[in-house]
Amino acid sequence: MTDLQQPDPAVAPARLIALDWGTTNLRALLLDEAGGALAQRSAPTGILNVQQGQFEDALRALCADWLSDPSMVVMASGMIGSRQGWVEAPYLQAPTTPAAAAAALTRVRLNNGGELHLIPGIACVNGTHAEAVDDVMRGEETQVWGADLPDGATVILPGTHSKWVRCGPSGSILGCRTWLTGELFAVLSQHSILGKLMAPGEGSAHGFELGARRGLHAPESLSTLLFSVRTAGLMNRLEPHALADYLSGLLIGAEVAAGQRNGSLRAAPDDERFDSSASAAAKTSRCVHLVGEPALCARYATVLTMAGEPSVTLDGALAARGAWRIAKAAGLLEPGR
């Protein structure tokens, strides 16, 4: 549902429109020069829902009044800059910084003479030689930059494609890893034999925690563990309403265990991680930062706790804050522009 919240004329004048434009949704925030949020709107017009590439029409349907001033700075992150989006914004190679993103913006001319600035995604390579695997992200990097985290911090952004992002010095992003946890859950629960015994209900904390323990213990056995979703229903080990949560626990547990084992968390030893004398910055960098839908982040926080990893869930309009930082670095908010 679209939120047609209007800016308050009594506050600072609007300077920037920050668009978080993904596959299914378009979210727009109106910001002042200091990055303060004045108003926000959203619509289910993600790139897959825009007919025949009519992206400017979709944008104007949501916030034509905000775009009436052609000098308004418009920043966009997410899949809108993908090959299937408005215009493809080339990837930056990690490690990279907000300043590098500011220097690599892709500009799109709007019909009113203004410009849309597409924020590039990030590409990286995990592993070396024959084991090297490419990875990419679009949109998550802007959220991470909006969080302004210290060197060494790990950010997990759960979703259809769960992203694990490593932060470096001076606001840099060192790289990322992607797990198809959310997509696997959707496919397995809706389009495989595993979903046949599932039933709707209030959910099951017991089912989720059982799955998480098993996934954490043996991520390398995920394929055989997945079949236990079927047998747990057949043998009445779990009630039908608990099977979806059990599957969710298996997948998230295996993801977290794999992240620990491949060094994505770069966890400090327990005696250092929980040392009360450690500096606030050190504790912050050792804590896993979760960014995303609150209920899903809560599931990840539960599994991280089971794995001995402290976590904190971040809130706020991080994508908009990141877009503001990049616009600032690009000089787009300078007086007279």
The three-state secondary structure class of 240 is helix
**Pairing status of strand 288-291 against strand 311-314:** parallel
Locate 137 and state its tokens.
Answer: 């992200």
Classify burial at 216, counting beta carbons within 10 Å of its beta carbon; exposed 0-12, middle 13-18, buried 19 or more: buried
* Distance (Å, whole) CA 126 – CA 94: 11
> What is residue 6's predicted lDDT score, i.e. its pLDDT?
55
Helices (H) and strands (E) in the chain, counts: 11, 14
Contact 175, 93 (CB under 8 A): no
- Single pTM value for the model: 0.90
Ordered per-residue pLDDT tens for the chain, 337 residues: 445 455 555 567 999 999 999 999 999 999 999 999 999 999 999 999 999 999 999 999 999 999 999 999 999 999 999 999 999 999 999 999 999 999 999 999 999 999 999 999 999 999 888 889 999 999 999 999 999 999 999 999 999 999 999 999 999 999 999 999 999 999 999 999 999 999 998 899 999 999 999 999 999 999 999 999 999 999 999 999 999 999 999 999 999 999 999 877 754 444 343 344 445 555 556 799 999 999 999 999 999 999 999 999 998 899 999 999 999 999 999 986 6
The residues, ordered by sequence, that sit 6+ positions from 257 with a Cβ below 8 Å of its Cβ are: 215, 216, 217, 219, 307
The three-state secondary structure class of 190 is helix
Alpha helices (runs of H) in 262-293, residue ranges in sequence order? 270-273, 280-286
The CA distances from residue 230 to 129, 224, 241, in Å, are 39, 11, 13
